[in-house]
Amino acid sequence: MTQGGERGDVSGLVRQWLGAAGYLSIFLMPALFLIGTATGKTWLAFGIIVIAFPIARIVFGALPAAGAPEWHESVATFLDRLPLAYAAALPVCVVSALAFADASIATDGLALAGVGLSLWMTLLLGTCAAHELIHRRNRRQTLVGSLLAGFCGYPMLAMEHLAHHARPGDTYLAEYPLRTESLWQFTARRIVRVTAEVLGWSSALWSTREPKPALDRTRVALMGTALAALGFAAAGGLLGLLLYLGMIVAVAFGIQLITYIQHWGLGQDSVPDRIAYGRGWEDDCRFQAWVTLSVSLHDHHHRDSRMPYYRLDLSPDSPRLPAGYVLLMFASLVRPLWLTMMRPALVRWLLEPASPLSAGRRITCFGLDRSREQAPV
């Protein structure tokens, strides 16, 4: 090896570490929640998400055109362990934040609302790391993922999500939303079905006579939820416990909301001939891929669910979201606005799947290919 070659290797490795450092942004929300609560600026984490995240798509740009890097072993190993470190850090940050919060927050409605919204976003993003871990080959890591999902307030994640992968395009069981239903209808239908299936009285979960290895994940997740409830109660008393109960409802809603964004218009009612593995909307935003651990590269994830987040890339023929998750979260709440944004994107993908059009580096892309808006979906 020449000296120049060695220098090239070293600079390549440094570039890889710099690229990999972007994924450290998953720690941003727990840190912001901790800082915000400790300093009385309870809206900090939520405010950053709403204002700074859309801007970050412009600042950090698109995913590299060359695809995911062929990570050096040391970098890949670091990235592989990152969700595990996060699973340890999130509960510590959240419970510490509540324990050290100013007592005056409890009597200030506005501050309390800030805590609620910031915590909702923090825990919702926490489920991204849980999601990554529950797909792992390693059994212990899947259990850590389940525990984390439980802490985030959604112990059904593992069972629900893995069934979601096993039923590609299924609108009947609300694995995918019907194109004609609103977020609210989809959420109600899915929550009822999933809760009955995973936690209902007919579930095998409550059977104690025989060991059921596949149900361990849900049991561990429920343990995570119970521990979190205890932690919130210990740190914040009755108010802390009520806050956590509210989070359980809010995170469950948030998970359905994200599912709606990821799969609207891609179910068997819309594209029955294209459901080979379960299609998903993708976004080429680099920052969004970092902060969600590539949940935004959803089509590729459905094609190969065992592929770790740091090796995922945009699928060459995936449907592309017309804006980032944050804007679409708000848009999905109002159906006319949702359709205004999503219909043109869906029409374009149906007509030209081989040349998908990403949202670009604008904050919004309401005008994306509007010429096709009137085409039949």
Q: Provide the binding-site residues for other proteins, judged by CB under 8 A.
A: 1, 70-73, 76-77, 79-80, 134-135, 137, 139, 142, 158-159, 162-163, 165-167, 170, 173, 197, 201-215, 217, 304-308, 311
For the record, the structure tokens of 15 come out as 């570039």
| Least distance CB 132 / other proteins (angstroms) | 12
Rounded to a whole number of angstroms, the minimum distance from the CB of residue 144 to other proteins is 13
The letter for the amino acid at 368 is: L
Q: How far apart are CA 280 and CA 377, in angstroms?
A: 17
Residue 285 pairs in a beta bridge with: 62
φ, ψ for residue 368, nearest 5 deg: -55, 115
Closer by beta carbon to other proteins, 7 or else 139 = 139
Is the separation of the CB atoms in 298 and 208 below 8 Å? no
* Spatial contact of 279 and 345, defined as CB atoms under 8 Å apart: no
Residue among 210 and 273 whose Cβ is closer to other proteins = 210
Judge whether 186 and 177 are in contact, CB under 8 Å: yes
Task: Give me the least distance between CB of 283 and other proteins, in Å please.
Answer: 22
Distance CA 58, CA 212 (A): 48
**Residue 277 C-beta: closest distance to other proteins, Å:** 9
Q: Roughly what angle, to the nearest 10 degrees, separates helices 335-351 and 325-333?
A: 120
Distance CA 250, CA 105 (A): 20
Q: How far is the CB of 262 from other proteins (least distance, A)?
A: 17
At 94, is the secondary structure helix, strand, or coil?
A: helix
Decide whether 180 or 207 has the Cβ nearer to other proteins: 207
- Of 247 and 255, which has the nearer Cβ to other proteins? 255
Nearer to other proteins, 48 or 295 (CB): 295
Our CA dihedral for 362, 365, 369, 373, rounded to 10 degrees, sits at 180
Our CB check for other proteins shows the closer of 255 and 323 to be: 255
- The residues with which 291 forms a beta bridge, in sequence order, are none
For other proteins, the closer CB: 190 or 343: 190
Q: Which is nearer to other proteins, 131 or 286 (CB)?
A: 131
Least separation in angstroms between CB 112 and other proteins = 38
Rg of the chain taking only CA atoms, in angstroms: 21
**Residue entry with tokens 């007919």:** 202
CB of 95 to other proteins, least distance (A): 28
Name which of 70 and 273 has its Cβ closer to other proteins: 70
* Helix pair angle (139-151, 109-134), 10° resolution: 160
**Least distance (Å) between residue 218 CB and other proteins:** 9
Residue closer to other proteins by CB (options 142, 259) is 142
- Give me the residue label for tokens 């994640």: 157
Q: Which of 278, 309, 266, 257 is nearest to 25 (CA)?
A: 309
Instruction: Please report how close the Cβ of residue 120 comes to other proteins at its closest, in angstroms.
Output: 26
Structure tokens, 273: 């001939």
Q: Residue 360: CB partners within 8 Å, gap ≥ 6?
A: none
Q: Which residue has the tokens 């999933």?
A: 194
Q: Dmax of the chain from CA atoms?
A: 68
Report helix, strand or coil for 115: helix
Q: Is residue 62 classed as helix, strand or coil in its secondary structure?
A: strand
Smallest distance, Å, CB 240 to other proteins?
A: 32
